[in-house]
Structure 1
Amino acid sequence: MKELNLQEIRQQLDVIDASLTELFETRMELCREVAEYKIQTGKPVYDREREQQKLKAVTALAHSDFTRKGTYELFSQIMTISRRLQYGLLASHGQEMDTGFSMIEDLKRENVRIVYQGVEGSYGHGAARRYFGPDADMYHVKTMEDAMTEVEEGRADYAVLPIENSSAGAVSDNYDLLVKHNVYIAAETELSINHALLGREDADIKDIRTVYSHPQALMQTSQYLNAHRDWKQISTVNTAVAAKKVAEENDRSQAAVASEIAGELYGLKVLERSINHNKNNVTRFIILSKDPVYRKGANKVSICFEGVHRSGSLYNMLGNLIYNDINMLMIESRPIPGRSWEYRFFVDVEGSLSDAKIRNALKGISEEAVSLRILGNY
């Protein structure tokens, strides 16, 4: 057998690659014709049974375990690309995804009621004031779910709730609640978080034995708190609730991690300022509405979806974003209740529901997912 040098091998690969490219383009033209047929007949783009039959057939043509696996992966991607081509063609014929959302100029800010979780002086209160102004009609409820229920049942126009912190990460429970309740993200605002250690007027740091705060705040100040090994840390539903508890129980051994504003409101002394270890500590709050609306100029879309529980499922669905040149900003997974080791994914992407590429990507994901929900565009 003639011995080939590297240059000759590369030349042969170039010939094969040119042939593969020509064959790929021919295949895509045939897929375009398939799309035209589906447009006329109303047949769905994604036919999993047909794809599995095709994958089984082409894999059987390979002659080794390695090439069989490679053939399966190669043709899986070719079929995925074919589907995205067909989704685009359907959209150009007016058969695109109905998002259910309506575009508005801006959120109504006058004669509206705003609900937040906690009590006066909480960071949620501060975020509501920041977005709607200090004179807005605001009231508070005990839990995050209570706030969503207030909006869902029409007693409040908007709810202001935390969703992510720059140092402690996602407020995971609120992601789960967004799936449970029929509310939509209409806007967001950010609030700098600066925690203080608050105690009774006659208290000193050496007196402290128990510290109360929200779990996120305890996480954000863990370096400071853990340095005091004899302090017991107890979670509360809100930082301001912790401050109120310390004030009402009037126990010199108790302290709260909360804002200095909460300390002023409940008559507590600042025992230590700025105890969060990340000094650039920011919490992102979402503004929830009962109606699926988005403001003109909105540039972030939040979705959640469940994939089929098999290899490559998440990869294929996220590929719809890559194919449509959409930038993914965040991905978070949450376990699905009652289904061990299965997860629901939350994704933020750049764009607007008015963009054709966003709708095309969402159409592709929705066709391949078990379920897809658009949480908001803001």
Structure 2
Amino acid sequence: MKDLLDIRKDIDKIDEQIVKLYEERMKLTSDVAEYKINTGKQVFDKEREESKLATLQKKAESDFTRHGIRELFEQIMAMSRKKQYKLLTEHGIMPPQEFEPIHTLDYSNARIVFQGLEGAYSQLAMEQFFGENCNNFHVESWKDAMEAIKNGEADYAVLPIENSSAGIVSENYDLLVEYDNYIVGEQIIRIDHALLGLEDADERDIRTVYSHKQSLMQCSEFLDSHADWEKFSVSNNAVAAKKVKEDGEISQAAIASAKNAQIYGLKVLRNSIQNNKNNSTRFIVVTGKKVYTDQADRISICFEINHESGALYHALSHFIYNGLNMTNIQSRPLQNKNWEYRFFVDFEGRFEDHAVQNALRGLRDETIAFRILGTY
């Protein structure tokens, strides 16, 4: 039996050869890139790569090494493509620019739409982003807000996208795909839920609670301590507060911001009932124009991938190779395709950066239904 030290020496020799051969192969990648630059040929040739992988796998001596060879050469080819994307960018060959750079958002004469009634958290986010005196109106649903932009009734819409306790607002992720509206800003606000009732009500009187489904989830611990209360979700927290006031039933309460007590003539029965005392919601600002400001340093995209092993890994490798930091990744199921998903990714970077352009080029070429949702 060989000594372990001798085995390791043999492995080291082989590894040195692999490194040398890898370097030689990557030099040839530059020649490939130059050819494609001169001919306009696409970097990613899936049919060629699949044929090459099948040929290499046939040279394996066992099923185990056959699988390993495929995985190894998939990575080598992926690295080759990434180098080619980099060389294309360095030669000034850039994809068509979809978005127009502007110095700043001009919303002095803009109309802004939010979902809900006066007192809704969306209104608070809107006022923090655009100012309290902005020209605004409200609609019943988030879809209505997107429609308002589509129909030219509004220039911007403010939509919740993620809560630090309850997670994503899945419907709004789907709406970003359904509509040709784009993210141009974000606003994070603290969410402090209160239990609101009629002026002569006491917490002991409550039997029914109304709020948005997200708020009910964010206050689940408090609600679980009142197991006998019935909980009903409504379209918006402010709608819940208005309902309690209009119904005039002492047994009813709403979960909403304390501001709604002043607006709708209610009483705060209990403050800060959310599970997470640092509860926050991230809102996005969307518009119908493909624009971004020179302060924009975050990009949101979505894409679909082939339903096969390693597909997501290969897509995400574009961020790793280009040194880009992903700040968020989410998935939403595809309609009529069981157990297949659309992925949403936020990452840091500026549109003009070569690393960003390299990653976007690779993702666009190697994924399905790729789309930039905005940079802000």
Which residue matches 2:17? 19
* Cα-to-partner distance string for 1:13-45 (whole Å, 9 max, x where unaligned): 111111111111111112221111111111111
Name whichever of 43-52 and 5-14 sits farther off: 5-14
Percent identity (aligned): 52
Report the secondary structure of 1:263's partner residue. Answer: helix
Partner residue, 1:193: 191
Instruction: Provide the residue aligned with 1:207 in structure 2.
Output: 205
Question: Which of 343, 346, 358 lines up with 2:344 in the alignment?
Answer: 346
Match of 2:158, SS?
Answer: strand
CA distance in 2, matches of 1:181, 1:42: 32
Q: Indicate which of 258, 261, 265 corresponds to 1:260.
A: 258
Are 1:97 and 1:362, in contact at CA under 8 Å, matched by a contact in 2?
A: no
How far did 1:99 drift? 4.1
Instruction: Please list the CA deviations of residues 160-206 of structure 1 after superposition, one character each: whole Å capped at 9, or x if unmatched.
Output: 11111111111111000000011110011111110000111111112
The aligned counterpart of 2:95 is 97
SS of aligned partner of 1:70: helix
Match of residue 291, structure 1, among 286, 289, 295: 289
2:357 matched to which residue of 1?
359
Q: Is the 8 A contact 1:97 1:360 kept in 2?
A: no
Map of 1:159 onto structure 2: 157
Whole-angstrom distance in 1 between the partners of 2:151 and 2:93? 33
Residue aligned with 2:374, SS = strand
CA RMSD of aligned residues (A): 1.0
Q: Distance in 2 between matches of 1:5 and 1:20?
A: 23
Once residues 371 and 88 of structure 1 are traced to their aligned partners in structure 2, the CA distance between those partners, rounded to angstroms, is 22
Q: Any residues of structure 2 matched to 1:172-191 within 5 Å, and which?
A: 172-191=170-189
Aligned partners of 1:245 and 1:211: how far apart in 2?
11
Secondary structure of the 2:44 match is coil
Distance 2:234 2:170 in 1: 16
- C-alpha separation between the residues in 2 aligned to 1:27 and 1:74? 14
Counterpart mapping for 1:91-170 below 5 A: 91-170=89-168
- Residue identity matched to 2:276: N
Aligned residue type for 2:17: S
Q: Post-superposition shift, 1:246?
A: 0.8
- The 3-state SS of whatever aligns with 1:373 is strand
SS in 1 for 2:200: coil
1:183 and 1:129 mapped to 2: Cα distance?
Answer: 21
Q: Report what 2:70 is aligned to.
A: 72
Deviations 1:106-127 (A, max 9, x none): 1113111111000000100111
Alignment of structure 1 residues 46-61 onto 2, 5 Å: 46-61=44-59
1:35 aligns with 2:71: no
- The 1-side partners of 2:5 and 2:290 are apart by 60
Cα distance in 1, alignment partners of residues 369 and 134 from structure 2: 37
Whether 1:276 aligns to 2:300 is no
Q: Which residue of 1 aligns with 2:61?
A: 63
State the shift of 1:89 in Å.
1.5
- Paired residue for 1:223? 221
How far, CA to CA, are the matches of 1:345 and 1:155 in structure 2? 30
> 8 Å contact 1:192–1:280 — kept in the other structure?
yes
How far, CA to CA, are the matches of 1:47 and 1:364 in structure 2?
Answer: 12
Task: List alignment gaps of at least 5 residues for structure 2.
Answer: none
Q: What pairs up with 1:315-326 in 2 under 5 angstroms?
A: 315-326=313-324
The aligned amino acid for 2:215 is A
Gaps of 5+ in 1: none
Matched, 1:251 2:235: no
What is the identity, as a one-letter code, of the residue corresponding to 2:60? A
Q: Is the 8 A contact 1:99 1:353 kept in 2?
A: no
Letter matched to residue 92 of structure 1:
E
Greater than 6 Å deviation, 4+ residue runs? none
More deviation, 217-226/11-20: 11-20
Q: Is the Cα contact below 8 Å between 1:121 and 1:265 reproduced in 2?
A: yes
Whether the aligned pair in 2 keeps the contact of 1:164 and 1:284 (CA below 8 Å) is yes
TM norm structure 2: 0.98
Other structure's SS at 2:78 match: helix
